[in-house]
Chain A
Amino acid sequence: MLEAIVSGLLTFFLAPAAIILGRRLRVVGVDVHKPWRPIVPKTGGLAIILGATAGMILGAHASGFQLFIPVILSCLVAASIGLVEDLREEIDPRLKPLLLIFASLPVLVLGAYSPRPLIPFLGKTRLYRVYPVLVMASYPVICNAVNSLDVLNGSALLTSIPFLIMSSVIFYMRGDLQLLILSLIFLAAAVAMLPYNMYPARTFIGNSGSLFIGAGITSIAIMGSIEVAAIIALMPQIMNEMYVLFSIRGLKSAKNIGRRPVVVENGMLAASEDPDAPITLLRMICAGIKVDERRAVYAMALISAFAAFLGFLTHILLLGG
């Protein structure tokens, strides 16, 4: 468990340095959901990346490289793509999923997967040819899905934490110490960043942070063979991304979508009533009412916690634990 403690403590104590670095380098963003529109550094993800990577290196040193090295490489590839976006500008939304496929390569090349996922009712399947393709597709889907919920202060972290708790419980029950440590490393980093990223945020985690966590979650699901539980637990993230893709008819940058899903009125969030506005989880939460940012994030977290519970239930009851 030392690995998780290191991950959490490093993330917590490196966050102030990441904030200062963001201000110095002018890697900042506008917090558009507040009436005073504060300028916030978007370098908090660096603390998560350094903290969790240090934890994983420690894990690799203590209990073997087979599990941790592919995860470290996958996460760093995804984080690099996010870092480019944080430092320069958004990558073409049609190119970004293709780039994120590279995050799957360490897992595929190092053979850190089992092509026999468990499907409810069917049991263990044999997808020797199809599974690598699914692995390649899963990184862009999950990374973008986690990234797409990074819309409010703390929302990406609070919606990822339920998955990480679920996977930790599953691995604990299975007695798989290495995977448990891996889950706890990400959980500790996410929890440690909360005081800086929650309302009112002192830092954003940026695309680097959200893609790093997304790649971590994908790696945990694949290497831990909890694919189905992960799909269920990540339903809020997946449906948020899916709704946006369907409703704006294709891959487009958020900046290029004319109609916003949510409008801000005196610091309160209200769902757009424009039928052509993208359907997002936040728009559904705010449908017909006005909600303050803090409560909207708690609502997202509650919905994610419920989805994680369904994922856990599916794993225990239908996949034999």
Chain B
Amino acid sequence: MGLARNILMIIILLTLVWAIFLFASYVITATVLYTLELPGDTITSIARVVLGIIIAGAWILGWYKLTKLWLYRVLLAGRRGNHSN
């Protein structure tokens, strides 16, 4: 049961990370679609790329923080030293 629970919890974590990725894509889309209305110049293009990098970076950082929380607060919660198959 312990292993099945851990697999399920990791799958839930992956699903959350996936959902956050889709949300981040949506945010990028909303922002980029807005800037497409603006006259195209180099600064706007660079700004779009920088924004994309910032949002992608935030996603990765959020992913890491969520995983750390998941390991210590969900997977290991109340189970330290309680080894079973």
A281 to B63, CA, bound (A): 13
A318 to B81, CA, bound (A): 44
Q: Is A149 an interface residue (CB 8 A)?
A: no
Contact B6 A299 (CB under 8 A): yes
Contact A289 B85 (CB under 8 A): yes
Q: Is A112 an interface residue (CB 8 A)?
A: no
Q: Mark B4-18, 1 if CB is under 8 A from A, else 0.
A: 001100110011011
Contact A288 B2 (CB under 8 A): yes
Interface majority SS (helix, strand, loop, mixed), chain A: helix
A299 to B9, CA, bound (A): 12
Checking B17, B29, B72 against A119 with a beta-carbon cut-off of 8 angstroms, the contacting residue is B29
Contact A290 B85 (CB under 8 A): yes
Residues 224-256 (chain A) with a chain B CB within 8 angstroms: 231-232, 235-236, 239, 242-243, 246
Interface-facing stretch out of A17-25, A172-180, A301-309: A301-309
From A119, which residue of chain B is reached at the shortest CB distance? B25
Give the interface residue-count category, chain A.
Answer: 35 or more
Tally of contact residues, B, Cβ under 8 A = 37
Contact A279 B83 (CB under 8 A): no
Q: Mark A300-321, 1 if CB is under 8 A from B, else 0.
A: 0011001100100010001000
Contact B3 A289 (CB under 8 A): yes
Contact B11 A299 (CB under 8 A): no
Q: Is A111 an interface residue (CB 8 A)?
A: no
Checking A129, A243, A314 against B67 with a beta-carbon cut-off of 8 angstroms, the contacting residue is A243
From A130, which residue of chain B is reached at the shortest CB distance? B49
Given A288-B2, A289-B83, A290-B85, residue A122 in contact with residue B7 (CB < 8 A): no
Q: Is B60 an interface residue (CB 8 A)?
A: yes
A82 to B76, CA, bound (A): 35
Residues 52-85 (chain B) with a chain A CB within 8 angstroms: 60, 63-64, 67-68, 70-72, 75-76, 79-85
Contact A289 B18 (CB under 8 A): no
Given A235-B14, A289-B6, A303-B11, residue A122 in contact with residue B25 (CB < 8 A): yes
Residues 249-289 (chain A) with a chain B CB within 8 angstroms: 270-271, 273, 275, 279, 281, 283-289
State how many angstroms separate the Cβ of A282 from the closest Cβ of chain B: 11
Q: Is A291 an interface residue (CB 8 A)?
A: yes
Contact A310 B3 (CB under 8 A): no
Given A295-B3, A303-B10, A310-B15, residue A289 in contact with residue B79 (CB < 8 A): yes
Residues of B within 8 A of A275 (CB): 72
Contact A288 B14 (CB under 8 A): no
A299 to B10, CA, bound (A): 10
Contact B84 A287 (CB under 8 A): no
State how many angstroms separate the Cβ of B27 from the closest Cβ of chain A: 9
Residues of B within 8 A of A119 (CB): 25, 28-29
Contact A303 B14 (CB under 8 A): yes
Contact A289 B71 (CB under 8 A): no
Contact A232 B67 (CB under 8 A): no
Given A119-B28, A130-B49, residue A284 in contact with residue B10 (CB < 8 A): yes
Contact B83 A288 (CB under 8 A): yes
Closest 3 CB pairs of A and B: A288-B79, A289-B2, A287-B75
Provide 22 A-B residue pairs closer than 8 Å at the C-beta atoms, listed in order of the A residue.
Answer: A120-B22, A121-B22, A121-B26, A239-B63, A242-B64, A243-B64, A271-B76, A273-B81, A279-B67, A284-B75, A285-B3, A285-B10, A286-B6, A287-B71, A288-B83, A289-B84, A290-B84, A303-B14, A307-B14, A310-B18, A314-B18, A314-B22
